[in-house]
Amino acid sequence: MTSADTTVATLDPQTLRRWMAQHEDLVVIDVRSAAEFESLHIRGSYNVPLPLLSEHTADLAARLGERVVLVCRSGVRAEQARQKLAGVGVDTAHVLTGGAPGFADAGGDVVRGAQRWDLERQVRMVAGSLVLTGLVGGRFVSPRLRTLAGVVGTGLTFSAASNTCAMGKALAAMPWNRTAEEPTATGAIRQIPADGA
């Protein structure tokens, strides 16, 4: 991807606020999990989690108009969604820089629900705790426990290289992250007005 592509594919929170006031055909799609969406989301956005979007990209694309903004927390999942949509011909989608928290910080209209740690923060906590356990355990219990730190480091390296996160997927399935019911393909996609109208 060239730097020109990045400029075209991203959108800052202030511009999104202007677009929301000016364009009725704007569709904002939040690709985070239902639990993350429940905690904080942009008012008027639609929750279509990335795994669901990945499975039903063509169905979703058929309902979208020209103005599409994709939202997550850091931009990673939103960029993956943008690439999926571009693969089926939706090349006008933008990724919101700063995600839903950045939009809230910029004074955007958001809905706040039950507060919980974001999935990315949970991944950092678990990975860091496992590495610390491996290092401390390797020093005081058995040197073999240092292997744990190496395994986690390898997993994080693979995660960065492949732009996937097995630990994040595992944590998303935990009971504390499943308080909100994940949307179905029918419910998530059909809630979006056809052609952004």
Q: Decide: pTM greater than 0.85.
A: no
83 and 164 part of one domain: no
Whether the per-residue pLDDT at 6 is higher than 50: the answer is: no
Collapsing DSSP to helix, strand or coil, 31 comes out as coil
142 or 176: which leads in pLDDT: 142
Confidence of residue 195 (pLDDT cuts 50, 70, 90): low
Claim to verify: residue 26 and residue 97 sit in the same structural domain: yes
Same domain, yes or no, for 83 and 11? yes
What's the confidence (pLDDT) of residue 179? Answer: 66
Q: Are 20 and 109 in the same domain? A: yes
Is the pLDDT at 189 greater than 90? The verdict is no
> Could you tell me the residue range of the domain that residue 111 belongs to?
3-116+181-196
Tell me how far apart the alpha carbons of residues 171 and 169 are, in angstroms, rounded to a whole number.
5
- Say if residue 172 is in the same domain as residue 188: no
| Confidence check: pLDDT of 196 > 60 | no
CATH classification at residue 8: 3.40.250.10
Q: What is the DSSP string of 116-158?
A: ---HHHHHHHHHHHHHHHHHHHHHHT-GGGHHHHHHHHHHHHH
> Strands 10-11, 68-71: parallel, antiparallel or unpaired by DSSP?
unpaired
Same domain, 92 and 106: yes
Strands 110-112 and 93-96: unpaired
User: What is the β-pairing status of strands 46-47 and 40-42?
Assistant: unpaired
Number of domains present in the structure of the chain: 2
